[in-house]
A and B are shown apart, each in its own frame.
Chain A
Amino acid sequence: MTTMTIAKAITAGLRRVLEQNPKSLLIGEDIGKLGGVYRVTEGLQAGFGEDRVVDSPLAESGIIGTSIGLALRGYTPIAEIQFDGFVFPAFNQITTQLAKMRSRSEGRFGAPVVIRIPYGGGIGSIEHHSESPEALFAHTAGLRIMVPSNAHDAYWMIQEAAASQDPVIFFEPKRRYWLKGEVDTENPAPPAAAAQVVRPGRDATIVTYGPLVPVALAAAEAAQEDGRSVEVVDLRSVSPIDFDTVVESVEKTGRLVVTHEAPTFGGIGGEIAARVSERAFLSMEAPAIRVGGFHMPYPVSKVEDQYLPDIDKLLDALDRSFAY
């Protein structure tokens, strides 16, 4: 067991991938000499050389397009997109090529590329540096989408992503990069596709992932003071989603709140609410309630606190759920 920040746990996970898979390589803007703007790849170019930790030209479509080519040639590229808002020049490559390679080749081969993206808000930054575009990718069949929320998961899930035969978008909760946690480098975390109950409870379920897991846990703690026992489920993967674990929890508690930073409209929360109502309607004491971003471009940082889900908003959602 060692204590690490989420950022350093990803660094350690990447280091292990580079050590164990000679065909793996990292590519992205400023990831080599600088070690990435968040220093997640710090020291890796010094350790593995410029062919395996590649400072790319400034072109996201190029980064993902060439990663696909490298994968076709038998390599395991782990690409970095510097910030969530800058993935879109590569959107074409991701959605029309990467996601579809397996179906287009009639199952003969795919393009197992990993795309790391620091994502989410709450960092007081300027435009395009705080977005949560996961639903756009979840809507695209052929991509797996992982979102770790703690250091141990981050360490193991990045390795799982690199070992996957499918393309993986790996969303890193950037405002939690400095969150420390115990990492057990001997015992792997459960597979990403298995959601985890990170706090057991009896009266209501909060489902979330990534940066809001600590917020949901804090809300559950606060609700405890009002005598409410709230269960928190960390999805860890938003494609696929482990509906079994979610449904099992809601069947027990009867109440569901889903929260993410991304706008609620057309988001992951809506999908969860719909599935749960299809499978557990008779167990539900109240409709599923979503707490997420509003239907607007991510707002300027001076007002982002009013946009982002926080403890109060989750408590308010619980109140509304219990009011039924």
Chain B
Amino acid sequence: MTSTRQDSAAPDSAAPQGALFPNADAPGPANRDAANPDTADGEMVQLLDQDGALRADPDFSGYISDVDAQMLRGFYRDMALTRRFDQEATALQRQGQLALWVPLRGQEAAQIGSGRATRSHDYIFPTYREHGVALTRDVDFPQMLRIFRGISNGGWDPRENNFHMYTMVLAAQVPHATGYAMGIQRDQAGWDRARLEREGTAVVAYFGDGASSEGDVHESMVFASSYKSPVVFFCQNNQWAISVPTRVQSRIPLAERARGYGFPGIRVDGNDVLAVLAVTRWALERARRGEGPVLIEAFTYRMSAHTTADDPTKYRLSAEEESWAPKDPLVRLEKHLRSAGHADDAFFEQVARAGDQMAARVREEALAFPDPTLEDSFNNVYAEAHPLIAEELRWHKEYEAGFAQSPAEAGQEGAR
């Protein structure tokens, strides 16, 4: 061979005289393919296994040392009520009373565990499926249906429970969470560690495996890491973004992405309410102390359709759905409660009755919501007077009044 290939990364001929590493091999880095993101392989924090048996974890058991039988029953009740609410809302949608519903079956432990880890002054930014987290924040279930009944785009007053409005544009709320945390940092400037631990506030941003691909998530993580802001990124990896499996979004477990931003990431069994509680408590405590963000990947499964408008048979196998059935978060906790002697039939019956009563109230109140008016929409665009709004509102009212007063309609119901 006569020529030397200067442009090649791995020269296969003798190196030219004076080359920097004349005899070096070029095998490339060792295969560093991480665990398959589709499977539970690899590290995942678990404290309660599929059969309802407790498993100690050297790092995390201590974060739930206060949990007793009564609290366990409380978590079960939370999850069962959430599931019952989901079921009622689904039924309401089927009956034409809601435009759409976003079911959460399967994700109760991820939501109750993380929600119960927060303090009431922490601020939560949900996506649109966090009905279980809402329960832990005492958001009134019927109010939540206002969005899905086409009455409101906000639903509830987030300032009452520090549970932000749902955000339908995926990932858009994640930078808001980071900015909110940046504000908290400023408010808490100068606090000592003891005070931070006692009174400090943190933020939780919820998003999905699909949303994790949005640029907004990347930018949020950059900011949060840069400023060490007290925000916990809580990603519910429910394996699907509508029809797209998680492997399209990430070749490595999502939690491992955190490393690239310079803060811890951890994968937790999202169907284990205790593990989620422990891990989220740990993350929130760090955040409150000023140690910066954490990414939690709750590994779970969307047992229902994406929404009531979705048909999962088009893209996933029933065998997959069946394989997740034994991991059901409620079944698991029920097994534990029974085997540990913490709860008997009477308890489960009582929870079921409470669920039915709640569902009946949800239905009754949802159906009784007054219809909104377009005038409300005009009034909520700007804080200050705006002449165009005033002009269009005047026109709208006159136009609608024209129908109400038409002779043919007089004495009857209005034209609308």
What residues make up the interface of A, taking CB atoms closer than 8 Å to B?
A: 29-30, 32-35, 37, 55-62, 85-86, 88-89, 124-128, 265, 294-297, 299-307, 312-313, 316
Contact = CB atoms under 8 A, between A and B. Distances in A.
A90 to B, nearest CB: 10
B377 A127 contact: no
Interface residues of B, number: 45
A61 B152 CA distance: 29
The main secondary structure of chain A at its interface with chain B is: loop
A294 B378 contact: yes
Contacts of B168: 85, 126-128
Interface in B212-227: 212-216
Contacts of B213: 57-59, 62
Interface in B108-133: none
B244 A58 contact: yes
Nearest to B148: A126
Given A30-B244, A59-B214, A124-B99, A299 B377 contact: yes
A22 to B, nearest CB: 24
Interface of B: 99-100, 147-153, 168-170, 210-216, 241-244, 248-249, 309, 314-315, 371-374, 377-378, 381, 386, 388-389, 392, 396, 399-400, 402-403, 416
A122 to B, nearest CB: 12
Contacts of B241: 29, 58
A33 B315 contact: yes
Contacts of A304: 150
Contacts of A299: 374, 377
A209 to B, nearest CB: 22
Contacts of B212: 58
A45 to B, nearest CB: 11
Contact of A37 (B151, B242, B416): B242
Contacts of B214: 58-61, 89
Contact of B378 (A35, A60, A296, A305): A296
Contact of A125 (B100, B373, B389): B100
B377 A58 contact: no
A295 B169 contact: no
A102 to B, nearest CB: 25
A295 B416 contact: no
Contacts of B309: 37
Contact of A89 (B99, B100, B215, B416): B215
Given A126-B168, A316-B399, A301 B150 contact: yes
Of A33, A307, A312, the most chain B CB neighbours within 10 A belong to A33
A295 B389 contact: yes
B388 to A, nearest CB: 5
Contact of A33 (B211, B243, B377, B400): B243
Nearest to B378: A296
Contacts of A33: 243, 314-315
A121 to B, nearest CB: 11
Contacts of A89: 169, 214-216
9 contacts: A58-B170, A86-B170, A126-B148, A126-B150, A127-B168, A295-B386, A303-B371, A304-B150, A313-B399
A302 B249 contact: no
Nearest to B214: A59
